[in-house]
Amino acid sequence: LPAASARIAVAMAPLALLIAMTATGSSASQAGLVSGLYSTGMAVASPLTGRLAERFGGRLFLLLGGIATTALCAIAFHPGQYLELILGFTAGFATPPVGAAMRSSWQRLTPTGNDVLLQRTFTFEATLTEIYFILAPIIVATLYAVGSPQSTVLATAAFLFAGSVGFGFRFPKVPDASKSHFASIISPRFLIILLLIALTSAISSAEIVAILAYFESSNIYASWIGVVLAIESVAAVVSGVLYGRRHWTGSPLSRYIALMLALTTTAALLPVVQLAETLIVPLTGLILFCIGLTLAPTGSEEFQLVSLVVPPGRTTSAFSLVGAAIGSGSGLGLALGCLLYTSDAADDSL
């Protein structure tokens, strides 16, 4: 439960910052920059904080949680344009690596050699991640509707602090972590996995901007983008539940390759929606539903592959690098999508 609290807060933070700042007078560009710096801070810090978590255990979560909470609370009260930028990056940089630590804990709690249970455990973890990102905007929107704009950020800070403290008291430090070099987890296989994870994240982020650009150029209400993306998220949760209910044959690598091929092939079908102008929304929803069916299983196999290629006891550092790869890929996908969005090729964005 503490881990869920902190991880929902991480999913809430970028949207809460955007809403709170724009609703209280900040420009959209300032709010977007602060939100982006929060995500950037997390991506930059995650390899370091994951390594430190193995070395110092739960004490680190208490310290980082306090710093991040303080920074978020300060942003809620508009300390000034430039200070907001510093605080946004600081809040992201100090956000404890609860997600990476939780994935490491799942592996530690699974009996060694039980590949079936490990697959189901990581499928459950990937499904939980999708649920967090479904719940986060709902919670932020509810807080904004019944409270004040600042309440979205303050509640995010409260969730983060409560989760960091609760999880920190339970997370042990790794024996002899101080004697292990960070480079010990780096291998060609692990780097390839990180590259593929970043690619998956980039596809997902670019897909959002491309659909938004195409919908706008086709004079389709922007609210429909939320509907089709919700369809994708629901499909991801459903597929995660179904995927984890049975044991799949083959190695994690062969399953991962098959899922990646399914994901990229399905995403490549998006331009098909341009062939039926009257069916753009339902066709987009159908394709995103099919993409969603691959997301949680792909994440499950990614986590299992990581656990197999890094040394025992170093998975928190490894999963922190996974988080950095996801953040970097997402940023690259958004950047490429936005470049296309603002170009003359917006009609051909898909």
What single string gives the DSSP state of each residue in 187-214? -HHHHHHHHHHHHHHHHHHHHHHHHHHH
Q: Looking at residue 20, what is its pLDDT?
A: 80
In the block, residue with structure tokens 């290629």: 309
Per-residue pLDDT at 337 = 66
Radius of gyration of the chain, Cα coordinates, nearest whole angstrom: 20
Q: What's the pLDDT at 182? A: 56
Q: CA-to-CA distance for 13 and 68, rounded, in angstroms?
A: 11
Q: What is the pLDDT of residue 149?
A: 80
Torsion of CA 202, 206, 207, 213, to 10 degrees: 180
> pLDDT value at position 112?
64
In this prediction, the residues of the chain whose per-residue pLDDT falls under 70 are: 28-29, 57-58, 106-116, 170-184, 209, 212, 216, 221-223, 225-226, 312-313, 331, 334-335, 337-350
| The pLDDT value given to residue 345 | 56
Give the CA distances from residue 3 to residues 84, 152, 157, 167, 205, in Å, rounded to whole numbers and listed in that order.
27, 19, 14, 6, 25
pLDDT recorded at residue 284:
85
pLDDT at 178: 47
pTM beyond cutoff 0.75? no
